[in-house]
Amino acid sequence: MQRIALVVQYLGTRFYGWQRQPDHRSVQADLEDAIALVVGYPVVIHAAGRTDTGVHAAAQVVHFDVDSLIPPTRWARVLNAGLPEDILIRASALVPSDWHARFSATWRRYRYTVFTASQPNLFVSPFAWHYYYEPLDERLMEQALLPMKGRHHMAAFHRAGSSRPHSWVDVQDVLIERDGDFLRLEVQASGFLYGMMRLLVGLLVQVGRGLRTPEEFTELWTSERRDEVKYAAPPQGLCLLRVGYDDCPFPESAWYDAQPKLSLPFESNAPPILVTP
């Protein structure tokens, strides 16, 4: 019996989240079914984190136990041959029997992408929140986000329905960067609460619009006023970017920055380029 770990990418658009469900398509079910088809018996896989409906993953990490003669590094190629087009295995590796995709992980990092152009773009919409209602000031949003670094009780961003017994989160890093019409927000933490990132982004956008000050934002979540966090950002802008381990079994190229950053070759408000025949 071997324990195999995988780096998994998936487009969350057509999935009802990571976890297997009786009446809806899930990433876990598709992966488990693909593995079972290869080995001839049911296999249970464990993931570093459970993404919600419509959320993407650039480098989710999973593991499973299997009795097979397939070399550990060939599992990626074997499974990719039978997986649907919206799931891809980027790497596979043999790990110790006590290694666990979830419990051995020391951090997870999520990226949320906002597209602020006035015109929509079909090639952007599956991976970003098209927010064109008001300009967003990323400097104010950064001021609001920086105080979240450290260990805090994040009950204000904890959606109902979670089985987690507490709301403590160790936030290790935060980042906001503007690239033309794209605004990227990244948060790295030891773990995330159910729905935390989308609720956080939804409230942070109010700061970017000037509806709340950074100080009001901080006071709201530190006083755990969950009743005032009413809007979650849409799922398509959110991506599980990567997962960290003290002794990562995969090459860096397979997991470190596997979601390309969206960008456009011109500003959306630039004058059109006229081409004469």
Residue pLDDT, tens place only, 169-226: 999 999 999 999 999 999 999 999 989 999 999 999 999 999 999 999 999 999 999 8
Question: Residue ranges per domain, the chain?
Answer: 2-104, 106-239
Contact between 193 and 157 (Cβ < 8 Å): yes
Domains 2-104 and 106-239 share a fold: yes
- Spatial distance between the Cα atoms of 12 and 177, rounded to a whole number of angstroms: 24
- Spatial distance between the Cα atoms of 108 and 20, rounded to a whole number of angstroms: 21
Average pLDDT rounded to a whole number, residues 33-52: 96
Report the top-level CATH class of 106-239.
alpha beta
Predicted pLDDT of residue 276: 43
In angstroms, the Cα distances linking 40 to 1, 5, 37, 127, 237 are 15, 19, 5, 36, 37
Q: Which long-range contacts (CB under 8 A, 24 or more apart) does 17-23 make?
A: 17/50, 17/51, 17/52, 17/53, 17/55, 18/47, 18/49, 18/50, 18/51, 18/52, 18/60, 19/50
Among candidate residues 46, 26, 39, the one with its CA nearest the CA of residue 78:
39
Inform me whether the pLDDT recorded for 50 exceeds 90: yes
Q: Please report which confidence band the pLDDT of residue 277 belongs to, taking 50, 70 and 90 as the band edges.
A: very low
Inform me whether the pLDDT recorded for 232 exceeds 60: yes
Catalytic annotation present for 98: no
Set 23, 52, 67, 137: catalytic member = 52
**pTM for the full predicted model:** 0.92
Contact between 206 and 133 (Cβ < 8 Å): no
Predicted pLDDT of residue 121: 94
- Spatial distance between the Cα atoms of 174 and 247, rounded to a whole number of angstroms: 23
Calculate what percentage of the chain has a pLDDT beyond 90. 87
Average pLDDT rounded to a whole number, residues 38-58: 96
How far the first Cα of the chain sits from its last, in Å, is: 67
Q: What are phi and psi of 109, to 5 degrees?
A: -130, 130
The distance of Cα 122 from the centroid of its chain, to the nearest Å, equals 21
Predicted pLDDT of residue 263: 86
Report the top-level CATH class of 2-104.
alpha beta
Please name the residue that has the structure tokens 């006035």. 118
Local structure of 69: helix, strand or coil: coil
Predicted pLDDT of residue 275: 47
Q: Which residues contact 67 (CB under 8 A, 6 or more apart)?
A: 1, 2, 39
Residue-wise pLDDT tens digits, 82-134:
999 999 999 999 999 999 999 999 999 999 999 999 999 999 999 999 999 88
Predicted pLDDT of residue 166: 81
